[in-house]
């Protein structure tokens, strides 16, 4: 019988010159998780002694940065930490460059355009440029829309693993906002499979009557993307067939946003090594 060697992953290092920096490093580990975790799991992952780790988690929980699961045995990101992440996305230093990409896209396609991110089980509008056309739907930056009946939301769902998607949707009611909203899990999974095949998603009056939206993911080379770009317009001006004609412009804008993001990562890396 052959022996089998099992290789365990190297523990995540929690570095920092001060207790505050070590807490921040622990938060970075927590922020990378897409589900609740136990003290035991985190101790094995970081090699921090349990008593020390328990004290650190208590500090973060007391500050509202972490919260406990319903059974009190596991931890997850807290409201304060999620709000911090939202504010960082809304107010990052590359907002001006991204806004310029949106404005150029509006000038090209003639309809309102959004930059969105996944926030919990909802889609958040990070930025928006309105069309000059007199008839339009107004949604401000910071607005949240449901993940299951928005074009961006369906793109984000399609980018997840089945297990990640199941965890998110298991706590998300598939509420009907219009007669066209998909409210059955099987039907939504079929829709997500199609989105994954075609590389874009439509919201065909599923969130608001008379509104159509088409969205694509902003590509990234550093992991799963949390940015979408979308065009949104009244159905009388933008039907499903016409929306497909806008995909080349959408993909060009998405690639330009990706270059801005990669430039940010490159500049940060250079600063850290300087």
Q: Residue 73: which CATH number?
A: 1.10.10.10
State the burial class of residue 51 (Cβ atoms within 10 Å of its Cβ: 0-12, 13-18, 19+).
exposed
For residues 272 and 41, the model is more confident at 41
Look-up of token digits 């401000």: 140
Query: What confidence category does residue 225 fall into, taking pLDDT thresholds of 50, 70 and 90?
Result: confident
Residues 176 and 55 in one domain: no
pLDDT of 150 higher than 90: yes
DSSP helix, strand, coil percent of the chain (3-state; round to 5): 45, 15, 40
Q: Which two tokens stand for residue 101?
A: 């990409």
Going edge to edge, which strands form the sheet with 74-77? 37-38, 74-77, 66-68
Q: Is residue 127 part of a domain?
A: yes
Residues 96 and 231 in one domain: yes
Query: What confidence category does residue 153 fall into, taking pLDDT thresholds of 50, 70 and 90?
Result: very high
CB atoms within 10 A of CB 125: 20
Q: Is residue 152 part of a domain?
A: yes
pTM, two decimal places: 0.70
pLDDT of 94 higher than 50: yes
Query: What confidence category does residue 267 fall into, taking pLDDT thresholds of 50, 70 and 90?
Result: very low
Q: How many domains does the chain have?
A: 2
Residues 27 and 146 in one domain: no
Residues 139 and 222 in one domain: yes
For residues 103 and 51, the model is more confident at 103
Domain that holds residue 221: 92-268
Residues 36 and 143 in one domain: no
d(CA 122, CA 117): 9
């Amino acid at each position: 019988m052959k022996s089998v060697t099992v290789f365990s992953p190297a523990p995540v290092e929690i570095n920092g010159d001060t207790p505050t920096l070590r807490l921040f490093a622990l938060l970075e580990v927590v922020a990378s998780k897409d589900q609740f975790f136990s003290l035991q799991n985190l101790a094995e992952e970081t090699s921090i002694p349990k008593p020390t780790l328990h004290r650190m988690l208590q500090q973060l929980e007391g500050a509202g940065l972490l919260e406990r699961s319903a059974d009190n045995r596991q931890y997850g990101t807290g409201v304060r930490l999620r709000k911090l992440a939202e504010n960082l996305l809304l107010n990052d230093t590359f907002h001006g460059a991204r806004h310029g990409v949106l404005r150029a896209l509006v000038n090209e396609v003639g309809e309102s355009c959004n930059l969105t991110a996944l926030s919990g089980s909802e889609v958040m509008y990070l930025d928006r440029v309105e069309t000059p056309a007199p008839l339009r739907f107004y949604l401000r930056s910071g607005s949240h829309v449901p993940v299951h009946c928005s074009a961006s939301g369906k793109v984000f769902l399609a980018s997840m693993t089945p297990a990640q998607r199941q965890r998110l949707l298991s706590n998300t009611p598939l509420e009907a906002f219009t007669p066209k909203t998909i409210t059955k899990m099987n039907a939504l999974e079929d829709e997500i499979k199609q989105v994954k095949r075609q590389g874009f998603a439509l919201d065909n009056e599923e969130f608001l009557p008379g509104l159509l939206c088409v969205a694509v993911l902003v590509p990234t080379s550093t992991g799963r993307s949390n940015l979408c770009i979308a065009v949104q317009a009244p159905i009388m001006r933008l039907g499903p067939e016409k929306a497909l004609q806008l995909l080349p412009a959408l993909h060009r804008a998405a690639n330009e946003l990706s270059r801005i993001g990669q430039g940010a990562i490159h500049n940060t890396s250079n600063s850290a090594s300087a």
